[in-house]
Chain A
Amino acid sequence: MSDIAIRVQNLGKQYHIGALQNNGGHYTYKSLRDSIANAASAPFRAARALVGQSGPRPSSQDNTIWALKDVSFDVKHGEIVGVIGRNGAGKSTLLKILSRITEPTTGRVEIRGRVGSLLEVGTGFHPELSGRDNVYLNGAILGMKRAEIARNFDAIVAFAEVERFIDTPVKHYSTGMYLRLAFAVAAHLETEVLIVDEVLAVGDFQFQSKCLKKMQDVSTNQGRTVIFVSHNMAAIRSLCNIGLLLDKGTTALYGQIQSVSDAYMSLGETHFDDEPLVIFPKAPDRCDVWIESASVLCNGTPGTRFEFGDRLGFKVNFKARGTIRRPIVGYLIRSSQGEDAVNANNYFLPSPDYEYPVTEGTIVCDLGELPLMAGNYLVSFWLCRNPEELHHVEDILHFTVEEKDIWGTGKLPPRSLSALWWPTGFTFLDREGV
């Protein structure tokens, strides 16, 4: 029993959509005035509501949802659990319950060890206070003692690389500095159990890789129990050894991360949207050239549904601060099994004859008739001027190759074989080699 760090039994969380009342069609906050008026007409029911004990309400059926239902699992000391699932599956709710922010409706959780939660980066940061003040404040909010913060202060500031600015008010920081500092504080939590929720979804590529490295160090080298929620499948796979798949509030699968993430990927094709175009409204920090939008082209026009033999192409619009001569662009096509099918870029190619500086432009990648097997694929792009400043967008476009009886035999290779089917000619020679 004592090697189990977290034991979750039949956890359930029901939400009443009851803070907002239906006032003849539109929702408003509950007001004391209305409640007092109701109390006058139905004293006992209203009095119980005032004390938080809500009795059966007539229209309560359509006003409740079970965000989590019957979730049970055990986490041993030192395990790193990746919680994955679609949006709305209940991941954040689970983390909130484990962090004691909200109470479960049913079930029981037992945690051995102190718990440190990182559900948001920079909680409690006040823009008027200096970086130093905010480090102490944020550390205290996260549960660190003042002595602990003082001991780790230099390490925190060094990790965030804001030594020069530590005494200026945080409102003058760039977004990158702000995020780095906020993450740095949380990264130095010394609790036995760590709960981390999608904080890597913010920040530029460099920030994300720094955070990942730190997470790796914290979990693998320091032997702590970590519960990690992210949509970044690559991060989940590299960091975690156990996976928990949540689907609509229930445990779909709990086990080794490889099988759980495979199950997630194949959890219904329709959870990807069919947009061939994706736009990035904001430029990343510390990057002078970035991808403004990207789209996938099927036979030259935007589209996401392919048949074996269609021409695949990408169109990448980029923008630059200042001018750029020849941006280096690359892409990666990943299958839903998680394997990298195609990875190419223009770095190794000879420069074209003409090269004039531009501030924005479009690059069209023509992949020709790509022999991809039926399935779902995700595309990642990266764009840079020099290797230090890179804009990397991962798994942002999606396209499907549909099953089609290409050879007319009614037989197709299984998806697990490989994503790429190289058109091969098979010729049988007779004994003499003729």
Chain B
Amino acid sequence: MTTESTNIAIANQADDSLIPITIIQPSRGWIALKLGELWEYRELLYFLTWREVKVRYKQTALGAAWAIIQPLFTMLVFSLFFGRLAKVPSDGIPYPLFTLAGLIPWTFFANGLTQSSNSLVSSANLISKVYFPRLTIPLSAVLSGAVDFAISFVLLVGMMAFYHQAPSLRCVFLPLFFLLGFVSALGVGLWLSALNVEYRDVRYTVPFLTQFWLFATPIAYPSSMLHGIWRTIYGLNPMVGVVEGFRWALLGTNTAPGPVIAASSLASVMILIGGAFYFRRMEKTFADVV
């Protein structure tokens, strides 16, 4: 046994540079994001996301239909009360289509918030037994909503066909707005999930938060109801940029949302960076507290 261990030791010394050296010591203050490590664990991120998606669809009787039912019924209710009865303007597009185009990215954002806020606590057994960058957990929670998004997007395309609304050429920008929505969801999700580990009542505020946010976002009404500087300030709600951008790219609404989208992008990036650093700083307490 001694001989074998010596051989291995020599082999390691030969290419010393290839042995990873880990230093473990107490950290102080704000901690580096270590995105490189996150990239190293990308396969785990894939598996965790895949697990979320697979399990979610295995357990529900409705399965993929649920991804469509949620935005569809909200759209029906909005169309009836806001579109028909209250006669809310809709930027020259049929109201149901107008509101659905906002609901699809919104549902992705709201579900991302709901899933990620409790993600750390529900993965307590993983956190207390295995090492991996904890950022993977809320990240996979938000990512798992992408499948639902893709399915509900089909509904949107169907709706467009129903209204004979051809997609505008600007729909190449759609992935960018999806990315903006993802960044927003992740940013807020990181704050919520980290806070929820320490303060367990945070997850109960999420339904209220999403409900409030729904009405603070121009889904049932257009942001063109605001003008000038007020509209730009309104754009500090990152979902304003996502929803208006979505409608602009897909349906060709002639609202020029430049400053609004800039404000939204700025807000969501700042929330994300703040959330990531806060998360990393609190990460060392997760295994002890969760």
Enumerate chain A interface residues (CB-CB to B < 8 A). Answer: 2-3, 15, 19, 29-33, 35, 51-52, 76-79, 96-115, 117, 119-120, 123-124, 126, 128-129, 133, 136-137, 140-143, 145-146, 192, 220-221, 223-224
Contact = CB atoms under 8 A, between A and B. Distances in A.
Interface of B: 1, 4-9, 12-13, 16, 19-27, 43-44, 46-48, 51, 54-55, 58-59, 125-132, 195, 198-202, 205, 278, 281-282, 284-285, 287-289
A302 B126 CA distance: 44
Given A33-B201, A104-B24, 10 more contacts: A2-B12, A2-B16, A52-B284, A78-B4, A97-B24, A101-B128, A103-B24, A111-B21, A129-B51, A133-B51
Given A98-B24, A133-B54, A77 B200 contact: no
Contact of B27 (A96, A103, A119, A123): A103
Contacts of A115: 22, 131
A223 B1 CA distance: 7
Contacts of A78: 1, 4-6, 8-9
Q: 9 nearest interchain CB pairs?
A: A78-B5, A32-B199, A109-B24, A223-B8, A140-B47, A103-B284, A100-B131, A31-B201, A77-B9
Contacts of A136: 47
Contacts of A128: 54-55, 58-59
B23 A126 contact: no
Given A52-B281, A52-B282, A119 B130 contact: yes
A29 B199 CA distance: 7
B36 to A, nearest CB: 16
A221 B4 contact: yes
Given A31-B201, A51-B281, A106-B26, A142 B130 contact: yes
B199 A31 contact: yes
25 contacts: A2-B12, A2-B16, A31-B199, A31-B200, A76-B9, A77-B9, A78-B1, A78-B4, A96-B128, A99-B131, A102-B287, A102-B288, A104-B24, A104-B25, A108-B23, A110-B24, A111-B22, A119-B130, A123-B126, A128-B54, A140-B43, A140-B46, A142-B130, A220-B4, A224-B8
B199 A35 contact: yes
A137 B51 contact: yes
A78 to B, nearest CB: 3
Nearest to B7: A223
A137 B140 CA distance: 14
Contacts of B25: 104, 107-109
A102 B127 CA distance: 9
A35 B199 CA distance: 9
A145 B9 CA distance: 24
Contact of B26 (A100, A103, A111, A120): A103
Contacts of A126: 51, 55
Most buried by A among B9, B127, B282: B9
B24 A111 contact: yes
A1 to B, nearest CB: 11
Contact of A101 (B9, B205, B287): B287
Contacts of B19: 112-113, 192
Nearest to A141: B130
A15 B44 contact: no
A29 B5 contact: no
A128 B195 CA distance: 30
Given A3-B9, A77-B12, A145-B43, A124 B130 contact: yes
Contacts of B287: 96, 101-102
Contacts of B284: 52, 102-103
Contacts of A223: 1, 4-5, 7-8
A30 B12 contact: no
Nearest to A225: B5
B115 to A, nearest CB: 16
A394 B208 CA distance: 55
B285 A52 contact: yes
A119 B6 CA distance: 28
A141 B125 CA distance: 12
Most buried by A among B4, B8, B46, B278: B8
Most buried by A among B7, B21, B287, B288: B288
B30 to A, nearest CB: 9
B28 to A, nearest CB: 9
Given A100-B24, A110-B22, A223-B5, A146 B43 contact: yes
A396 to B, nearest CB: 27
A221 B7 CA distance: 12
Contacts of A51: 278, 281
Given A101-B128, A103-B27, A105-B26, A113 B51 contact: no
A195 to B, nearest CB: 10
Contacts of B288: 15, 19, 102
A32 B202 contact: yes
Contacts of B125: 120, 123-124
A11 to B, nearest CB: 9
A101 B26 contact: no
Nearest to A142: B130
A141 B12 contact: no
A145 to B, nearest CB: 6
B50 to A, nearest CB: 8
A100 B200 contact: no
Contact of B199 (A30, A103, A108, A120): A30
Nearest to B195: A32
Contacts of B51: 124, 126, 129, 133, 137
A250 to B, nearest CB: 18
Most buried by B among A32, A107, A123, A136: A32
B4 A114 contact: no
A31 B284 CA distance: 20
A110 B20 CA distance: 10
A105 B25 CA distance: 8
B47 A141 contact: yes
B195 A109 contact: no
Contacts of A133: 51, 54
A149 to B, nearest CB: 9
Given A15-B288, A32-B202, A102-B287, A140 B26 contact: no
Nearest to B8: A223
A422 to B, nearest CB: 38
B132 A113 contact: no
Most buried by A among B1, B47, B132, B205: B47
Contact of A124 (B59, B126, B200): B126
A199 to B, nearest CB: 11
